[in-house]
A = this chain, B = another copy of it.
Amino acid sequence: MATKSPDAQSLLTPAEVAALFRVDPKTVTRWAKAGKLTSIRTLGGHRRYPEDEVRQLLAGIPQQRS
């Protein structure tokens, strides 16, 4: 194939996010359920998390909190 979209890797797996935050994948799932993390689901039901959002959270940027 020739047409390669510039946007390739922008989603992270639960294990990736969990490793980044040093928590269990289960905890990441809870964050997604609580609406603290934007989650995109695969057709099989697994979640994928935007890398941009995770990076912001990792950097300590409060989203909208007093």
In the complex formed, the residue of B with least CB distance to A41 is B61
B residues less than 8 Å from A4 (CB atoms): 2-3
Interface size on A, residues (CB 8 A): 40
B residues less than 8 Å from A3 (CB atoms): 2, 4, 9, 16
- State the oligomeric state as a number of copies: 2
Against B, the Cβ 8 Å flags (1 = close, 0 = not) of A39-59 are 011111100100000000110
Count chain B CB atoms within 10 A of each CB in A31, A36, A40 and give the residue with the most: A40
Residues on A facing B (Cβ under 8 Å)? 1-5, 7-13, 15-16, 19-23, 27, 30-31, 33-34, 36-37, 40-45, 48, 57-58, 61, 63-66
